[in-house]
């Protein structure tokens, strides 16, 4: 079952299947590998950390939040 993804302002931006974050059109935006978040452009770039449903950028700002 897909979880819902929200941006820092609380806007619904897509879904999360446990590994990939998809936008509302179904395009893959991010890959979550355990507690690390990467973009999907080869070579993949580390963007930040993922913990307890919250993705945080390297600079400490919010990347996205996941909710059931």
For residue 4, the model assigns a pLDDT of 98
User: Where in the sequence is the domain holding 38, given as residue range(s)?
Assistant: 3-67
Are the CB atoms for 12 and 25 separated by under 8 Å? Answer: no
> How many whole angstroms separate alpha carbon 14 and alpha carbon 33?
18
pLDDT in tens, the chain (68 residues): 899 999 999 999 999 999 999 999 999 999 999 999 999 999 999 999 999 999 999 999 999 999 98
Are the CB atoms for 37 and 28 separated by under 8 Å? Answer: no
For residue 1, the model assigns a pLDDT of 81
Residue 10, φ and ψ in degrees, nearest 5: 90, 10
> How many whole angstroms separate alpha carbon 68 and alpha carbon 43?
31
State how many domains the chain has: 1
For residue 14, the model assigns a pLDDT of 98
């Amino acid at each position: 079952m897909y979880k819902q993804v929200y941006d820092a302002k609380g806007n619904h931006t897509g879904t999360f299947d446990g590994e990939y974050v998809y936008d509302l059109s179904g395009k893959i935006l991010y890959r979550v590998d355990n507690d690390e978040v990467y973009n999907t452009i080869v070579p993949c770039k580390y963007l930040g950390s993922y913990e307890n449903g919250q993705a945080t950028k390297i600079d400490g700002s919010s990347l996205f939040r996941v909710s059931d």
